[in-house]
Amino acid sequence: MKTGLYFGSFNPVHIGHLAIANYLIEFTDIDQLWFVVSPQNPLKKKASLLDDHKRRTMLELAVETDSRFRVSDIEFKMPKPSYTIDTLTWLQEMHPGNEFVLIMGSDGLPTFHKWKNAQLIQEKYTRYIYPRPGYEVNSNELVNARVIDAPRMEISSTFIRSALKEKRDIRHFLPPNVYEYITEMHFYE
């Protein structure tokens, strides 16, 4: 089974994440998509990062009625900071019948060479790259990667957090049950 791995902090998950995931399932050869909740990206600051389990809960709420999606907290059990190559290796050992595809936004390409064992990831795993505004991709420069012609989402978790802090009504930017959970718990205020 071809399984897409969509890594992220999902702080919080929003309709942009879900639209991209839906596109990947419906318009590529991926059979199932796993959202891999990252406890901390080694290349990002931890400021304003909501607790790991609360972010996982939001993702579970967002995809609970869609069997094409799964939420993985495998990185919660791994040494911190977590590195993609270690997660891929562990998942491959646990699920030898799966062909894993790394899903990443084009905004991750400029720093990809800094990833632990980037060369090995490039050799062993196909990467599906979705376009992000401001990060154009030259597919001729990519190795073992495919640019996905997904709709461009100009929505970000940073925007969501900022709007919530300003007490804006952004209910339509989030899955309804995620919006309810965030407002009930007073996250990002």
Give per-residue pLDDT as tens, 46-93: 667 899 999 999 999 999 999 999 999 999 999 888 899 999 999 999
Q: Which domains does the chain have, with CATH numbers?
A: 2-152 (3.40.50.620)
> Which tens digit of pLDDT belongs to each residue from 107-128?
999 999 999 999 999 999 999 9
Please, where are the H alpha helices in 10-156? 15-27, 52-63, 84-94, 118-124
- Has residue 141 got a pLDDT over 90? no
Entry pTM:
0.92
Name residues whose C-beta falls within 8 Å of residue 122's C-beta, 6 or more positions apart in sequence: 143, 144, 145
pLDDT at residue 163 in the model: 96
Question: Of all residues in the chain, what percent carry a pLDDT higher than 70?
Answer: 96
At residue 59, the pLDDT reads 97
Which residues are CB-neighbours of 22 under 8 A, at least 6 positions away? none
